[in-house]
Amino acid sequence: AEGLRAATRARGITFGTAVRHDLLQSDAAYAALVAREAEILVPEWEAKWDALQPEPGRFEFGQLRSIALFARAHQQRLRGHALLWHVANPAWLEPALAQGEARAAAVMEAHFTAVLRETHSYIRDWDVLNEIIANPPGSDNPSPTQDDLRPTPWLRALGPGYLERALRLARGLDATLRLTLNDYGVEADTPWAEAKRQRLLRVVRRLVERQVPLDAVGIQAHLQMRDPFRAEPFLAFVQALRGLGLAVLITELDVREPDQLAPSIAERDAAVADYVTRFLSAAVEGGVRTVLTWGLTDRNTWLAEEPGVARADGQRTRGLPFDEALRPKPFHAALGRVL
């Protein structure tokens, strides 16, 4: 059967997925699916700080390289994820950043330098800044904010200028690398999504006005069906970003079903596919040309494993294009139709 990779290419859209190096090596059926479906791969964990720099100055690139080898063997592209994030950091990082501005700047520079030198030949697009916008009041985890930014060890150490520092550093190290700012909670019609969209737009506008290098915004799209989706505000947001000269990508699409599940699997899968269709139709209308899901199959997904993300009722999650037996679901058909 023809995968999304071939089907979407003809229409100028690029489909991809997050992958895990261990599964690519140990699970032949999964690896074959990834090879057939995805034009772009992003490491689900292997390019985060705790994977890449477990101890200060000691870099580990083996797992990332194994994904890069797979991608090369199948003529796929890789995205990098992520150069700065407040999660998945090694234990040594936060105390190091707390030692003051000079040390924090040196730590950032050492990491970016080693990582971008390593990945120059196989990653041309990095999420430089991940989840840096503060969540507004009314959201699951609102935070106090300075300049619309999430309070993180990087913000504490370097102030709001850390964004500019990171982006200029990345550009200086690799002049043609695509620099992306990636975030979530801006997709649906929650009471606070508009506030977060405005925060993100303000942050991006400030960067653009100061001519700070930034090429793209990634919208994670960890969708939750309990949230109503309306195309209009989302489309306006995507268009505002594009109006600033930025590309817009969907980077981590998956779907959490509502607490009250439909009685049959068929109805559940149809509802998920419908939600995805409405969301992606708006995205494509807004000019999105790259869509990645956060995994391909319900067999391996953070939606089943992550505390606070996994279903509380113990039911299996059905939030990705393929089921636990790697059979395509209506979600997959929806991707084929919309992309």
Catalytic positions are 252
Nearer to ligand XIL, 130 or 180 (CB): 130
Q: Which segments within the chain are labelled E, that is strand?
A: 14-19, 40-43, 77-78, 80-84, 125-130, 178-183, 216-219, 222-224, 247-256, 290-293
Nearest distance, CB of residue 175 and ligand XIL, angstroms: 26
Candidates 236, 281, 77, 83; CA nearest to 166 is 83
Shortest Cβ 18–ligand XIL spacing (Å): 7
Q: Does 220 bind ligand XIL (CB under 6 A)?
A: yes
CB of 46 to ligand XIL, least distance (A): 11
Instruction: Give the integer Cα–Cα distance in Å for 84 and 320.
Output: 26
Of 103 and 311, CB closest to ligand XIL: 311
- The CB-of-43 to ligand XIL minimum distance in angstroms stands at 9
Residue 302 sits in the site that holds ligand XIL (CB under 6 A)? yes
Q: Which of 45, 59, 61, 192 touches ligand XIL (CB under 6 A)?
A: 45
Q: Coil, helix or strand for 98?
A: coil
Cross-strand partners of 77:
40
Residue nearest to ligand XIL (CB): 302
Residue from 160, 245, 226, 216 nearest 187 by CA: 226
Cα atoms in the Cβ-side hemisphere of radius 13 Å centred on 109: 9
Output the six-digit token pair for 239: 């268009």
According to CB under 6 A, which residues from 234 to 253 bind ligand XIL? 252
Tell me which residues in 92-151 interact with ligand XIL (CB under 6 A).
Answer: 130
For ligand XIL, the binding residues (CB under 6 A) are 44-45, 130, 220, 252, 302, 306
